[in-house]
Amino acid sequence: MADGAAPLATDAVTAILRHMNGDHAADCLVIVQGLGGRRGATAAKMAGVEADAAVFDVVGPDGHEQVRIPWSEPIVERAQVRTEVVRMYQDACAALGVTPPAAGEH
């Protein structure tokens, strides 16, 4: 697999993107604001799952752009994506100085 190439089957990536953008759109924005260096972003959606990073389409003061945020380790199976997104969200909340919702509130 080439660096950055999608590590998962197309149907798995499609399901992940649908879930993230349908159920966790606000979380995507927090992630790009806190970890992607785009504090001024006003909208974000997950656009891709690569072996080494999550890719987000971001809207901000400078218009539209794509932002890659690295995973803590390469993704080789679908279950890792959930773990990594939760970690990213928690790290982004910490970077922004906000308290993430308690388990069960999110």
CB of 54 within 8 A of CB of 69? yes
CB of 54 within 8 A of CB of 84? yes
Domain 10-96: give its CATH architecture. Answer: Alpha-Beta Barrel (3.20)
Supply 92's token pair. Answer: 């982004």
Which tens digits make up the pLDDT trace of 67-104? 999 999 999 999 999 999 999 999 999 999 999 887 65
pLDDT at 13: 94
- Domain ranges in the chain are 10-96
Global model pTM greater than 0.85: yes
How many Cβ atoms are within 10 Å of 101's Cβ, its own excluded?
Answer: 10
Q: How far is CA 73 from CA 22, 23, 36, 51, 59, in A?
A: 25, 24, 17, 9, 27
Given pLDDT bands bounded at 50, 70 and 90, which one contains residue 62? confident
pLDDT at 3: 55
